[in-house]
Chains A and B, each alone.
Chain A
Amino acid sequence: MTAAAVKITGCSKWYGHVLGVSDVTWTLPGGVVGLLGPNGAGKSTLMKLMAGLMQPSRGTVEVLGGQPFLDPGVRRRIGYSPEHESTYDELTARELVTVLAHLAGVPRHEAPRAAVRALEAMGMGAALDRRVKGFSKGMRQRTKLAATLAHDPDLLILDEPLTGVDPVARAEIIDRIKALAAAGKTVVVSSHVLYEIEALTTDIVVLYRGQVLAEGNIYEIRRLIDRHPHRIRVECDRPREVAAAIAGADHVVRLAIERGAVVVETRDPDRCYDDLAAAVIERALELRSMTSPDNNLGAVFEYLTGDRGRSRARGES
């Protein structure tokens, strides 16, 4: 029988009095899984525990059959990309990935070749000898990903790999992560943006306030989230015309005109975005911005958990 890639049992982690994760039990047999949750949900803590950066305060973390914090042999098989974008800016991409590959266990004479392979695989072949200091966020993320996979790990732990990157780099990174998964790697990827995870996998673990709130198929959580009225704020030269154009749509729950903007509450964000785009184009409006104040899972989780709480309270009264 093949051991699970990750097996976490009754795991809690405190930072002093602050709780990172609480009593998490979770098994990942393999494949690609998304860790989803708002900021502060415990995603990064769970990933650091899996990567062997820290020991749990309670419970056990078993990765690839061993304990990552205690066993360098296990860490040799893990590729971890942290959330932050700090790197050794004084180095070139080639130097950075070479030294990190060597430190991950690749023999000294093989490390430069492994680094170049990984950087080229991440589309960084043209910037091998440029210093990281001058890189854009997208290039930094791709360099970090190259450093993550240069030593050919079996398990990739990618903490918010799409944060701050432009749409083109985002699409490229998604494609490359998918390719790694297709090549048989086990990938754990985190995000607080549902749509990013959705582009990568259908298997998700939802974390909230340090606990596993839900686990399974992404469409289930999508269904829950889509029940939550989603706000979209459209800033344009004639907001009343936009409001009039979509007022009759069955997914619109509420409309409000603010200074130079219309705020739409909808139960179907995808359709609403389509309708708004059509209204803007048909009327040749001058669109200044289209933003979603609810574009993070924090608001949704607050809504879901709060709603449950309120429902229970109503039932009891």
Chain B
Amino acid sequence: MSRGRGLSGGHATRALAGLALTRAVRGKALWIALALVLLPLIVVGVRVGLGHPADEIWETAFGTTLLVLPVVPSILVSASLSDELEEKTAAYLWSRALPRWSIVAGKLVGLAPIAAVIVVLGLTGAWALIGGPSAIPADTFARGVVGMAAGALAGATIAAMWATIVPRHAVAVSVVWLLFVDLPLGTLPVKVHYLSASFAALAIAGFEATAADGVAAFALLIVVPTAIAVRRI
């Protein structure tokens, strides 16, 4: 057996991402998250049935998916990381020959894209219900998808941050933050809205400010909460 110095950060991140994904697929969180995306579909389905204008329904679809967005990364990323700390299984990882940052990176690489795919699925389903490209132009839809995915990724890093700060109540704190702090923060007409995942999502999707503002907020939200999580793990 080879006796090297241990895994590189990249290899460790990949292995931990695989572990996080396997556990998510076999656990309940992923299925709960998938069930949550039915909410925008139900709301959109009702409005379509009532014959409301397509562009209004599209705004409703985006807004309703924004309400789901705080929960999905929280129950996937925050729960996974906080369980590791609360259930003390992190001891298996800390005692291994891997850099500590790879524990946070592994969770994010494994689960944040899943969170993004889930919310995008909800939005895509809603778009299809509204009437697809014949009702909402494909470029509008594409911007919405990119914005929502960016919001989910940013939400995932925020969820990871809270998991390392308050592991015992991580999911609740993460949901409350994203729902009751992040969403209002995103509506403020000052630069502090750069700290809001929902602002990033709305701006990139073309509902608020400019896409450049959205990308800047997204970059900030990927770096800062991740750095805090890595520092605290």
Is the CB–CB distance between B1 and A91 below 8 Å?
no
Contact (A53, B91) CB under 8 Å given A99-B15, A99-B19: yes
Note all chain B residues with C-beta closer than 8 A to A107. Answer: 2
Q: What is the CA–CA distance of A78 and B23 in the complex, to the nearest angstrom? A: 26
Q: What is the CA–CA distance of A80 and B93 in the complex, to the nearest angstrom? A: 10
- Chain B contact residues: helix, strand, loop or mixed: loop
Per-residue contact bits, chain B 84-107, to A (CB 8 Å; 1 contact, 0 not): 000111011111111100000000
Is the CB–CB distance between A105 and B94 below 8 Å?
no
Q: Which residues from 1 to 45 on chain B have a C-beta closer than 8 Å to any C-beta of chain A? A: 1-7, 11-12, 15-16, 18-19, 22-23, 26-27
Note all chain B residues with C-beta closer than 8 A to A77. Answer: 3
Interface: A265 (CB within 8 A): no
Which of the residues A105, A106, A147, A151 comes within 8 Å of B5, measured between beta carbons? A105
Which of the residues A51, A87, A88, A105 comes within 8 Å of B7, measured between beta carbons? A105
Is the CB–CB distance between B89 and A75 below 8 Å?
no
Note all chain A residues with C-beta closer than 8 A to B12. Answer: 103
Q: What is the CA–CA distance of A95 and B21 in the complex, to the nearest angstrom? A: 13
Shortest CB-to-CB span from B131 to chain A, Å, is: 40
Contact (A103, B7) CB under 8 Å given A75-B95, A151-B1: yes
Contact (A103, B96) CB under 8 Å given A90-B27, A91-B22: yes
Is the CB–CB distance between B91 and A105 below 8 Å?
no
Q: What is the CA–CA distance of A75 and B97 in the complex, to the nearest angstrom? A: 5
Q: What is the CA–CA distance of A84 and B7 in the complex, to the nearest angstrom? A: 25
Q: What is the CA–CA distance of A80 and B157 in the complex, to the nearest angstrom? A: 30
Q: What is the CA–CA distance of A174 and B4 in the complex, to the nearest angstrom? A: 30
Note all chain B residues with C-beta closer than 8 A to A147. Answer: 92
Is the CB–CB distance between A105 and B95 below 8 Å?
no
Q: Which residues from 129 to 157 on chain A have a C-beta closer than 8 Å to any C-beta of chain B? A: 147, 151-152
Q: What is the CA–CA distance of A102 and B15 in the complex, to the nearest angstrom? A: 8
Interface: A121 (CB within 8 A): no
Note all chain B residues with C-beta closer than 8 A to A51. Answer: 94-95
Count of B interface residues, CB-CB < 8 Å: 29
Is the CB–CB distance between B96 and A100 below 8 Å?
yes
Is the CB–CB distance between A82 and B1 below 8 Å?
no
Note all chain A residues with C-beta closer than 8 A to B23. Answer: 88, 90-91
Is the CB–CB distance between B15 and A82 below 8 Å?
no
Is the CB–CB distance between A88 and B89 below 8 Å?
yes
Shortest CB-to-CB span from B166 to chain A, Å, is: 16
Considering the complex, give the chain B residue whose CB is closest to the CB of A113.
B1
Is the CB–CB distance between A73 and B97 below 8 Å?
yes
Interface: A86 (CB within 8 A): yes
Shortest CB-to-CB span from B107 to chain A, Å, is: 13
Which of the residues B2, B16, B88, B95 comes within 8 Å of A80, measured between beta carbons? B95
Interface: A114 (CB within 8 A): yes
Considering the complex, give the chain B residue whose CB is closest to the CB of A117.
B1
Q: Which residues from 92 to 115 on chain A have a C-beta closer than 8 Å to any C-beta of chain B? A: 95, 99-100, 102-108, 110, 114
Considering the complex, give the chain B residue whose CB is closest to the CB of A71.
B5
Considering the complex, give the chain B residue whose CB is closest to the CB of A73.
B5
Q: Which residues from 184 to 209 on chain A have a C-beta closer than 8 Å to any C-beta of chain B? A: none
Note all chain A residues with C-beta closer than 8 A to B95. Answer: 51-53, 75, 78, 80, 82
Q: What is the CA–CA distance of A91 and B21 in the complex, to the nearest angstrom? A: 11
Q: Which residues from 141 to 181 on chain B have a C-beta closer than 8 Å to any C-beta of chain A? A: none
Shortest CB-to-CB span from B205 to chain A, Å, is: 35
Q: What is the CA–CA distance of A294 and B133 in the complex, to the nearest angstrom? A: 77
Interface: A76 (CB within 8 A): yes
Considering the complex, give the chain A residue whose CB is closest to the CB of B5.
A73
Contact (A75, B88) CB under 8 Å given A91-B22, A105-B6: no
Contact (A103, B91) CB under 8 Å given A76-B5, A91-B23, A110-B2: no
Interface: A293 (CB within 8 A): no
Considering the complex, give the chain B residue whose CB is closest to the CB of A100.
B92
Is the CB–CB distance between B89 and A76 below 8 Å?
no
Which of the residues A86, A95, A99, A106 comes within 8 Å of B87, measured between beta carbons? A86
Interface: A309 (CB within 8 A): no
**A-B contacts, 24 listed (Cβ < 8 Å):** A52-B95, A73-B97, A75-B95, A75-B96, A75-B97, A76-B3, A76-B5, A76-B97, A80-B91, A82-B91, A91-B19, A91-B22, A91-B26, A95-B22, A99-B15, A99-B18, A100-B96, A103-B16, A105-B2, A105-B7, A105-B97, A106-B1, A114-B1, A152-B3
Interface residues of B (CB under 8 A from A): 1-7, 11-12, 15-16, 18-19, 22-23, 26-27, 87-89, 91-99
Q: A72-B98, A82-B91, A151-B1 are known contacts; what are 5 more A-B pairs with Cβ within 8 Å?
A: A76-B4, A87-B89, A87-B92, A99-B15, A108-B11
Interface residues of A (CB under 8 A from B): 48, 51-53, 72-73, 75-78, 80, 82, 84, 86-88, 90-91, 95, 99-100, 102-108, 110, 114, 147, 151-152
| Nearest 4 Cβ contacts at the A-B interface | A72-B6, A76-B97, A73-B5, A90-B26
